[in-house]
């Protein structure tokens, strides 16, 4: 990032990178179908929500505690 002589950012330089806090895994309030868990995971990793939803539905076909994990994530993940 280039700087002006007075020490501030140059015109057109991105300054939003300085205001970034820690990344948090939260349930999505905008991209939700049931509880916002898949939408929140997709937003956290920067991938389309449909990919996460397809993976969750496909994983339910495999024996295991997937439904319990989803319900646990729904309970534990805070809303954004």
Model pLDDT for residues 3-39, shown as the tens digit of each residue: 556 665 566 555 555 656 788 888 888 888 888 899 9
Q: What is the pLDDT of residues 42-58, one digit of tens each?
A: 999 999 999 999 999 99
pTM of the model: 0.67
CA pair distance 18, 35, nearest whole angstrom? 32
Pairwise CA distance, residues 73 & 80, whole Å: 14
Segments making up each domain of the chain, as ranges: 23-76
Give the distance, in angstroms, between the CA of residue 69 and the centroid of all CA atoms in the same chain: 17
């Amino acid at each position: 990032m280039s700087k002006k002589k007075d020490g501030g950012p140059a015109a057109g330089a991105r300054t939003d990178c300085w205001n970034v806090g820690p990344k948090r895994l939260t349930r999505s309030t905008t991209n939700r179908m049931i509880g916002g868990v898949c939408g929140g995971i997709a937003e956290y990793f920067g991938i389309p929500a449909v990919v996460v939803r397809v993976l969750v539905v496909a994983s339910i076909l495999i024996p295991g505690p997937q439904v319990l994990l989803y319900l646990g994530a729904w309970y534990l993940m805070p809303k954004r």
